[in-house]
Amino acid sequence: MLIETSKRLAQQAYEKILELILSGEAEPGEMLTERRLAETLDMSRTPIRDALLMLESEGLLKRHGSRGLQVKQMRIEDYMEVLQIRLLLEPEAARLAAGHLTAETISDLRKRLHDLIDGAEKGATRPDREAVRAVDDGLHGAIANMAGNAHLAQIIHSLRRQTQIFDLRSIPERLTSTCQEHLALIDLLEQGKSEEAAEAMREHLDHVRASIIRRLTPQ
């Protein structure tokens, strides 16, 4: 029971610190200390320490000597290298996951994607990045989890966390096109079309990469 409580608290601390990083409240290069985080999050230092180790192992934090852990500054070269690995792994995950996502998961993802598209078409205020990220995580996470390989899912999860920091800061929102690509991918996954799903995932990630290149290439 004590071990379960400790793990639960560490996971809660992990989620809270991760949100600080992804929201930009904890900026690239900023040093994160157990004491300050414990005060900010109103938690004890033990789960904070465990959470920081988890984030370090995922490549989101970098140890900086005796000073502690620093939020990693993601360079474009880092992003492209990680995305290249994702291009190798995630199409295969989509191929393996085809036909295995639950009807409930598919229905929920479709609804949330259509809601985002409807909001954009109606000229609503800019969608909350957290909501957009949650849908993106929901789809890519479900595919990784249903590929039938826990190690593959863990690697994809870690790689996505690393590129997500760059996504939120440096590339434009591809909201409508991304949602449409995701909806097409969901259709293929639901129909169990494994090879087509793999190709759709590859094209989606290629489009993400192309959007970054366009954004960063001088006009």
| Every domain of the chain and the residues it spans | 2-71, 76-216
Q: Can you list the alpha helix ranges (DSSP code H) found in 58-193?
A: 76-97, 103-121, 129-145, 150-170, 175-190
- Domain 2-71 is found in CATH 1.10.3720.10: no
pLDDT of residue 30: 92
The highest-level CATH class for domain 76-216 is mainly alpha
Query: Are the CB atoms for 71 and 28 separated by under 8 Å?
Result: yes
Angle at 144 between CA 163 and CA 113, to 5 degrees: 75
The single-letter code of the amino acid at 148 is: G
> Span 194-198, mean pLDDT?
98
The single-letter code of the amino acid at 46 is: T
Q: Tens digit of pLDDT for each residue in 84-110?
A: 999 999 999 999 999 999 999 999 999
Q: Report d(CA 96, CA 194) in Å as an integer.
A: 7
pTM over 0.85: no
Task: Dig out the tokens for 162 from the structure.
Answer: 């690393």
pLDDT above 70 as % of the chain: 89
Instruction: Of 44, 69, 39, give the one whose Cα is nearest residue 54.
Output: 69
Q: How far is CA 135 from the centre of its chain?
A: 10
Question: Quick one: DSSP state of residue 174?
Answer: -
Residue 2: pLDDT band with limits 50, 70, 90: low
The residue behind tokens 């180790």 is 53
30 versus 120: the higher-pLDDT residue is 30
Q: Report d(CA 9, CA 172) in Å as an integer.
A: 35
Q: Please name every residue paired with 69 in a beta bridge, in sequence order, or none if there are none.
A: 32, 63
H/E stretch holding 128: none
Instruction: Classify the C-alpha dihedral 38-41-43-47 as positive or negative.
Output: negative
